[in-house]
Structure 1
Amino acid sequence: MSAKTASRLAPPDPILTGCVLALLAFSVLMVYSTSISVAEVRYNDPFRIISHWLVYIPVGLAIMWGLSRVEVTWWRAIALPALAIAVVMMIAVLVPGLGREINGAQRWFSLFGLTLQPVEMLKPAVIIYMAYYMGSFPDRLSNFSSGLAPMLVVLMVSLVLLVLQPDFGSAALLSAVCFCMWFVGGVPIRHLLLLLSTFIPLAVVVMIAEPYRMQRLTSFLEPWNDPYGSGYQLIQSMIAFGSGGLFGTGVGQGVQKLFYLPEVFTDFISASIGEELGLLGIMSLIVLFTVLLGRGIWLAIHNQDMFSRLLILGCMMTLGVAFIINLGAAMGLLPTKGMPMPFVSYGGSALIGECVLLGLVLSVQRHQGGNKRLQKSGGKRAAKSSQPPMHDGLEHQF
C-alpha cells in the first residue's frame, strides 16, 4: 500500500472494534474460568488453555488490522483465486494422512502442533465470490442459467465438501448467508423460490439418510427421552442456565464446568456464562452482538457500491447466524450443533476466520471513509480557489 493510499485511510470504526474488544474481554474471562479444571486434568497445567488463547487473540487482531488496510478493489481481483485455493484445501483435508480426524469428523489440518480448519477460509472466499459475481454482472441475474446457476454451483460444491467432513452446521450457515446475499443482490424472487422448493427436500433426504443425524435433529425437542445419550449435553446446558438465575453464581463458582457439561469453553460457553453471570450476563452478550451486527448492516446500507455492500452483508450475516445457532442450540431452541460463538468461544481457527471476516468489513469502511474525507477536503480547497473544481472520479470509486 502506498503512502498516499495509507494517508486516505479512515480509522477503524470505533463501534465495530469496540464491540469486538468487549467480546474478546468477555471471552478471556470465561475461558479462564471454565478451562482451569479441564486443563489441570488433561495437561497437568491449569493455565495451558488460557495461555494459548492469549496468543491467538493478538494474532487474530493483527490479521484483522492488516486486512483492514487492503484496498477493496483487491478483494474483487482475488475472488476466483481465493475460491479455488479454499476448495483445494477443503478437498485436501478429506485425504487420509493430510486431514486430521477428531470425534469422527475430518475437518482439521495439524501443523506445528496447531489445528487449522479450512472451512474458515472457505466462508470468506465464498462471500467474496458471491459479492464479486453479483457486483460485476448485475445484468445476468435476471436469467437463471447465467445468473444464479454459476453461484449455485459454487455453493453446492462447498456444501458437498462440508457434508463429507461432516460439518452440517457450517453447511446450514453458508446456505443461509448465500440466500440472503442473493436476495439483496437482486436475484429474482421466483428463482429463489424455485431453488428452495428443491433445496429443502434435498436437505431432508440428507438428514434422514443417517439415523444419528435425525436423532440429533430431534433430540432437542425431548432431551429427557435419552438423558445419558443424545440429550445429555443439552440437559446439562439447561441446568447451567437454570442455576444462574438473574445475577449468576459468580465468576469461577459454576459447577457444570466441572466435567458435567462437555465443550464448556468452546461450543457451550454461553451456558457457562448463563450459570456464572446469570441472565444479565447473557443479555449483555446479546446486546454486544446486536450492536455489532447493527453497525455492520448500517455500513452496508450506506454503501453505494454493490460489491462492497454485499461483502459487508455476507461477513456480518456469517457472524450473526453463527451467534444465533450457538446460543439457540445451548438454550434448546435449535438442534444441538457444534458451532463456536464468534469472538467468545475458545478456538484458534474459528477466531482467525472471524477476524478475517471483520477485517474485510473494516477494509470497506476504512477506504470508503478515507475517500469521503479526501473528497471533503478537496471540496474545501476548490471552494477557496478561483479555479473551477477538478473532478477526479473518486466519487465513482465506491
Structure 2
Amino acid sequence: MMTTTRTDLPFNQRVDWTLLSLWLVLMSIGLVMVASASVAFAAANYGDAWYFAKRHGVYMVMGATLAMVVVSIPMSVWQRYAGYFLLFTLLLLVIVLIPGVGKKVNGSQRWLSLGIISVQVSEIAKFCAVVFFASFFARRYHELHFGWQGFLKPLLVVGLFVVLLLLEPDFGSSVVLSATVFAMMFIAGVRMWHFLLLIGLGVASLGAVAVFSPYRMQRLITFLDPWADQFNTGYQLTQSLIGFGRGEWFGLGLGNSLQKLFFLPEAHTDFIFAIIAEEFGLVGATVIIGLFVALILRVFTIAKNNLAVGKAFAAFAAFGVAILFSFQVFINVGVASGLLPTKGLTLPFISYGGSSLLVSCVLLAFVMRIEWEVRGVSSIYIPPARPLRAAVRPPPIMPEAV
C-alpha cells in the first residue's frame, strides 16, 4: 500500500496521549515514593526531610525541558549524527575512568561532576547506544543478514562498551546494554545461528566476569541463601524481603514503611520497589508493574507501526528503547524481590537518581518524536499479527536499508 506524508494534522492528533499519560503517571508516583522513602534518611543526614524530594522535583523539571528539546529534533538528524553519538559516549566512558576526573561513589567510578549535579556516564551510554545501533542496523541490513562483517562490527562495538563499563565497574549496565543491542540485532534480521552464537558468547563472558570477581561471586552465593548471612552480605536483600512480607496484600499505607527507617539501605534508589511493596502491598506493586507493562507494550506498538511504513531506523530505535526499559524494570524488581542477585540499577522514573531520570525522559521523548512522525504518514498498513522479526527478514529490503 502506498503511503503519503501529511503535515496538516493538528497537534492533539499527533501527540501520543497514551504514552504521555503513562509517562506522567509514573513520574508522579516516583516523586511521591522518593519523598516517602527518603524522608527519615534525608532528615538525619541533611537536616531537611524533603531534601531528596526537592532535588527529584528539580530533575523532573530538567527532564521535561530536555524532553521538549528532543521532541523538536527530526529523526533524520538523529540518524545522520548517530556515529558522533557513539564517539561522544566512548570518550565519556574513557574520561570517567581518569583518576581525579571521574567521581567515585561506593567503590565505583561512574560519575562526572558538572558543578551542582553529577552525571552517570553509563546512563548516557544507553541512549547513545540505542541511537547508534538503530542507525547501523538500518543502513547495514545486507551486511548483517548475509555476511560476517555486519555481525562482527556491532559485536566489537558492544565489546568495547562492556569493557569500559566493567572497568568502572558497572556490571548491571553492561548486562542491560548488551541484552538491548543483542535484541536489536535479532529484530534487524541477524542469522539465527549467528544470534545463538552471540547469546552463548555473551552469557559465557558475563558468567566468567561474575565467577572470577570475588565480590560478584559472593553476591551470587548470598543470593542463593541470603538468610545464611543476614547481618552481613545478605543484609540488604533480607531487609528488602522483610518489606515485601510486611506489605501483605494492601500494604501499611503511604508513609508507614518501617524498612525505610535506616533498616533498608538505598531505600529511595535501587530498592524503592521494596518500599512500594511494603506501603501498598502486593496490589500496589502489581499496579506499578502493570503501568510499566502498558508503557513498554505501547513502545513496541510504535516500533511495529514504523516497520509497517518502512521506517527502519525509527522502528529499531523504538524497539531498543522498549527492550532497555524491559530489562531495567525486570532487573530492578527481580533484585528487590530476591529473584536476581543484587545489582545497582534504578527503577525508571521512580527511583531517585538524576541521571537515570533525565535519560529515561530523553528516551521516551525520542519515542514520542518517532510516533509524532509516523502519525504524519497516511494510509498506514498494519500487517497481520506476527513477530516483528518476521516483518524485516524477507525481501523486499526496507527503504533505508537499500
Partner of 2:338: 332
Query: Aligned equivalents of 2:199 and 2:317: distance in 1?
Result: 23
Partner of 1:384: none
1:8 shift after superposition = 7.5
Q: Match of 1:303, SS?
A: helix
Alignment of 1:258-337 (within 5 A): 258-304=261-307, 305-337=311-343
Alignment of 1:168-183 (within 5 A): 168-183=171-186
| Preserved CA contact (<8 Å) 2:96 2:110 | yes
**2:227 aligned with 1:209, yes or no?**
no
- % identical equivalent positions: 37
User: What CA deviation, in whole Å up to 9, does each residue of 1:3-62 have, x standing for no partner?
Assistant: x97977653311111111111111111111111111111111111111111111121122
Query: Aligned equivalents of 1:152 and 1:5: distance in 2?
Result: 39
- TM-score normalised over the length of structure 2: 0.89
Inter-CA distance 35–197: structure 2 relative to 1 (3 Å threshold): closer
**Aligned partner of 1:356 among 357, 362, 365:** 362
User: What CA deviation, in whole Å up to 9, does each residue of 1:328-380 have, x standing for no partner?
Assistant: 1000001111100001001100001111111111111011112439x9xxxxx
Inter-CA distance 8–251: structure 2 relative to 1 (3 Å threshold): closer
**2:30 aligned with 1:27, yes or no?**
yes
Query: Aligned equivalents of 1:345 and 1:185: distance in 2?
Result: 32
**2:244 aligned with 1:241, yes or no?**
yes
| Preserved CA contact (<8 Å) 2:138 2:400 | no
User: What CA deviation, in whole Å up to 9, does each residue of 1:170-212 have, x standing for no partner?
Assistant: 0110111111111100011111122233332222221121211
**Aligned partner of 1:194 among 169, 184, 197:** 197
Q: From the CA coordinates, give the structure whose radius of gyration is larger.
A: 1
1:310 shift after superposition = 0.5
Query: RMSD value over aligned CA atoms?
Result: 2.1
- Letter of the aligned partner of 2:329 in structure 1? F
Inter-CA distance 144–222: structure 2 relative to 1 (3 Å threshold): farther
| Preserved CA contact (<8 Å) 2:41 2:262 | yes
| Preserved CA contact (<8 Å) 2:302 2:318 | yes
Query: Aligned equivalents of 2:350 and 2:324: distance in 1?
Result: 15
1:65 shift after superposition = 2.6
| Preserved CA contact (<8 Å) 2:227 2:238 | yes
Query: Aligned equivalents of 2:50 and 2:313: distance in 1?
Result: 44
Give the total of aligned pairs: 376
**2:74 aligned with 1:71, yes or no?**
yes
Gaps of 5+ in 1: 376-395
Query: Aligned equivalents of 1:144 and 1:103: distance in 2?
Result: 44
Query: Aligned equivalents of 1:224 and 1:283: distance in 2?
Result: 26
User: What CA deviation, in whole Å up to 9, does each residue of 1:204-236 have, x standing for no partner?
Assistant: 221121211111123111001111121110100
Gaps of 5+ in 2: 1-5, 381-398
**2:45 aligned with 1:39, yes or no?**
no
| Preserved CA contact (<8 Å) 1:8 1:371 | no
1:165 shift after superposition = 0.4
Between 199-208 and 94-103, the greater mean CA deviation after superposition: 199-208
Query: Aligned equivalents of 2:201 and 2:296: distance in 1?
Result: 30
Query: Aligned equivalents of 2:142 and 2:90: distance in 1?
Result: 27
Partner of 2:96: 93
- TM-score normalised over the length of structure 1: 0.90
1:66 shift after superposition = 2.2
Inter-CA distance 131–6: structure 2 relative to 1 (3 Å threshold): farther
Inter-CA distance 45–149: structure 2 relative to 1 (3 Å threshold): same
Partner of 2:260: 257
User: What CA deviation, in whole Å up to 9, does each residue of 1:228-250 have, x standing for no partner?
Assistant: 12111010000001001111111
1:283 shift after superposition = 1.0
